[in-house]
A and B are shown apart, each in its own frame.
Chain A
Amino acid sequence: MSDTPAPPPFTPFPAAGNISDAEREDLRRHGILLTSLEELYGWGRSNSIWPLQFGLACCAIEMIAAATARFDIARFGAEIFRPSPRQADLMIVSGTVTKKMAPQVVRLWNQMPEPKYCIAMGACAISGGPFKQGYNVLKGIDRFIPVDIYIPGCPPRPEALLHGLTQLQEKIRAERVSGPQAARHLQPDAASEFPVPDYGAHDLQPPSNPALFTAPVLPRKA
C-alpha cells in the first residue's frame, strides 16, 4: 500500500482571509494612487504588529516560544511585546479566559488604540476548549470582543501562531481605506470599545455581548 503514489493534497480547512491575486488586481483598478497609499498603509501596519504582552495560560508559553530563537516572531517585525495596551496593535488571547478574567480582557481591548486586532490562540480562547464545561470558564473570547483570527490547537505550535500572524498580515494588507471593504476601524459605525461585563452573583452580567456574539442555530435531533 505504501508504494502507491502520493495522495492528492487535502485542504480540510477553508482558507482564511486570503485575498487572491485576481481580487487584488481588481482592487488595484479602483485607482492607482489610492491603491498605492492603501498598499503602503497596509504594508506598514502589517509589518509592524506589536502584540500586547499578555499571557493567560498554557498558550502563553507557546506564544513566548514563538518569540524565542527557534521560531523568532521578530522576523515579522512583531517581537516588540508591549506591556502597555496603549502601544499594542494586536491582542493575542493566549489561553483560557475565565469569567473572572473576562472583564479585564475587555478593558484591555478597550484601552488599545485603533487599528487593533485580536487573535484567539488555542482552543480555550476560541471556545473554552477542554475547560468549556467549567463554571468559571468563558466559552470563547468572541463573546465580548471581536476576533480576527482563530488558531485552534491545544496549544497551537509556535509555527501555528506564526501562520496565524501571516494570515493576519494578509488580512491587514487586504483592508481598504474606504468603501464596503474598509477596515473595521475606518467604518464610521464600527464600535471600538465594548461594554465591560460585571461580576454577577452567579455569572457575568451580561454573559455575552449580544451585539457581537450570535451563535448559529444547530438543527439537531432534540
Chain B
Amino acid sequence: MLGSGILKGLGVTAKNFVGSYHDPARMVTQEYPDTPAKLPEAYRNFPFLVTENATDPMGTLRCVACQICEKECPPQCIYIEKSKDKKPDATGKPQLYPAVFAIDTAVCMSCQLCVEVCPFDAIKMDHVFEVAATNRFEGLLLNREQLAKPNEYFHQIRPTEAAEVDGRLTAERQAAAEKAKAAAAAKAAAPKPTTPVAGVADPGPASPRPATPKPAEGGTAP
C-alpha cells in the first residue's frame, strides 16, 4: 500500500526518539567538555620524550640522539641536533643526548613510526589532544623541554606498554651491568679495553630522500 514504507520509517524514528530517553544505546552523546574523552590505552596523538626522572627532565632523557626517528619520520617533522658532549644514561654509560629536539606538531601525522623504530624506548605517543593554538609558529612547534615527560606519566597513560618497556629495560640494564662487571673483572684479570657499548645505533639505510633522481638499476629497464 502506498505509504506503508513511509509509516514503517516513521515508526523507526519514533522508536529512536523514545529510546533516546531511556535506552543508552540510543542516546550515545558524550558531553565532551564536561565528561572528558574516553581514550583507549593505545591512543596516539603526538610523540613525547620519556625522561627517567621528573626532577631533572633534561638530564635524564632516554633519547641518545641517534636520529633514526628523524630519518624514518614520514612527514619529516622531527629535527634533532646531536650534543657535542656525552652524559651518563640510566646505567651510567656515557651517551650523546639531543641538544636540539623539535617536533612540529603542525606537520606530525601521528603515525607512530618514530616509536616503532626507536631502539631506546625514548619516544612514545602521547594522549594529549587538546592542543588548539592561535599561533602555529610558536604554539605548535615543540622543543625538547616541552616534549619531555617523565616515565611516571608514561605509566599513567599506557600502563601495559610502560610496564613491558620497564621490564625490558631493567633486564637489559641488569645484563649490561653484569656484563660490565664481568668485563671489569676480566679487565682486572687481564688489562684489555673491551667495553661493548651499544652506542649510537646504525644510522639506517641511505638517506631516504635523494636530492637528485637516481638512474634506475635493473627494474624493468632493459
Q: Tell me if B29 counts as interface (CB < 8 A to partner A).
A: yes
A71 / chain B contacts, CB cutoff of 8 Å: 29-30, 32
B48 to chain A: closest residue by CB: A12
0/1 per residue, A111-155, Cβ < 8 Å to B? 000000000100100111111110000001010000111111110
**A191 interfacial contact with B, CB 8 Å:** no
Are B37 and A154 within 8 A (Cβ)?
no
Give the docked Cα–Cα distance between A126 and B152 (Å).
Answer: 32
A16→B166 contact, CB < 8 A: no
| Interface size in chain A (residues, C-beta < 8 A) | 50
Q: Could you tell me if A16 and B132 are in contact, using CB atoms closer than 8 angstroms?
A: yes
Closest to B16 in A: A69
> Chain B binding site: helix, strand, loop or mixed by DSSP?
loop
Judge whether B101 is part of the interface by a CB distance below 8 angstroms.
Answer: no
Let me know if B151 and A1 touch, CB within 8 A: yes
Check B33–A163 contact: CB distance below 8 A: yes
A159 touching B106 in the complex, CB below 8 Å, given contacts A69-B28, A216-B137: no
Determine if B131 and A160 form an interchain contact, defined as CB atoms under 8 angstroms apart: yes
Q: How far is the CA of A154 from the CA of B109 in the complex (A)?
A: 5
Closest A residue to B163 using CB positions: A2
CA gap between A13 and B46 in the complex, in Å: 12
Question: Which residues of A are interface residues toward B (Cβ below 8 A)?
Answer: 1-2, 4, 6-8, 10, 12-14, 16-17, 69-72, 75, 120, 123, 126-133, 140, 142, 147-154, 156-157, 159-160, 162-164, 166-167, 171, 215-216, 221
Closest 8 CB pairs of A and B: A130-B75, A154-B109, A164-B132, A130-B109, A127-B106, A12-B146, A126-B106, A159-B37
